[in-house]
Amino acid sequence: MPVRRVLFLGDVCAEPGRFAVKAALSGLRETCRPDFVIVNAENAAAGYGITPRLAEELFAAGADCLTTGDHAFDRKEAWEYFPVQSRLLRPANLPSRAPGRGCAVYERDGWMVGVVNLQGRVFMKPLDCPFQRAEQLVAEMRTQTRAIIVDFHAEATAEKQAMGWFLDGGVSAVLGTHTHVQTADEQVLPQGSAYITDVGMCGSFDSVLGMRKEEALSRVLDSLPVRLHPAKTDLRVNGVLVTIDTETGRAESIERITRRVEVDIS
C-alpha cells in the first residue's frame, strides 16, 4: 500500500519561530521523511502577519506551502503578494474580494495533495460559515485528489472538533491551529481523517504564547495596553506528521512532533 507523509508545523511566532523552523526542518526531513511540508506562518512577522520576504525565507527553509489565519493581512506589504504566490494561502471563508486564495492543489513527484485554509467564527471575527465553505471546496478538490489537508485556524475546541467530525472521510486530515498550545488528542477518526485540536507553535516556550512573560503579565495584572514582544529563549517546534494512503486518501497515522532547538538569537 503506497503512502505519503505530510509534515505540518504550527504557528511560527516571530523571529524566534523562524529561527526554530530553519534550524529544525533539515533534521525533520531526515527523520520524518515528509513528501510535503506545510507551515502556518500567520505570526511570522514579529507575531502579527507575514511579509513577502519572510514567506520566501520559510520557503527557502523547506516549506512547500504556508497557511495563515486571522492575522493574514496585518502587514500591508503582503496584500499584493498573496495573489501572486500560489504557495501562500489565506482563510478560504474570507470575503471573495480578499487578496489571494484559500485552497490549492500541489504536485510533488507525481502525487497531488490539496490544502484548504479555513478560519473559525467562535470568539473570532465574523466570517462566512467555514463548514459550508469546507463542504464546497472539498467536493471540488476531490475531483483532483483524495489527499486533502485542512488547516482550521480557530479558537474554540468545540468548533474544531465539530469540523473534524464534519469532514471525517472526506479529507485526509483536519489540523487545528491558532491557540499556540499543542493538544494531546491526535487520532485517526473512524472514516479515516487524521485530527488534532491544535498542532502547537514554533517559537519561544519561555513565554506566554511566544511573547515575553513580563509584558503579557502586565496586560492582565495592570490592564495596560502594553506592547508585546517575542520571547527568545527555549525555542521549540511543534507539529504533526500525517501518513496518508495515496490510493484512498485515508490517513494511516498521525504523530505529534515536538523538537527543542539549540540556537542563540539574543
Q: Cα Rg for the chain, rounded, in angstroms?
A: 17
71 is catalytic: yes
What's at 53, amino acid-wise?
R
β partners of residue 105: 114
Cell match 489571494: residue? 100
Residue 183 half-sphere exposure toward CB, CA atoms < 13 A: 17
Instruction: Kindly name the residue from 71, 153, 178, 180 that is annotated as catalytic.
Output: 71
Query: Cα angle at 142 between 105 and 157, to 5 degrees?
Result: 85
Residues 6+ apart with CB under 8 A from 132: none
Helix axes 52-61, 14-32, angle to 10 degrees: 20
**Amino acid type, 227:** R
User: Interior CA angle at 37 toward 35 and 41, to 5°?
Assistant: 175
CA distances from 52 to 14, 36, 193, 260 (A): 14, 21, 32, 27
Catalytic positions are 71
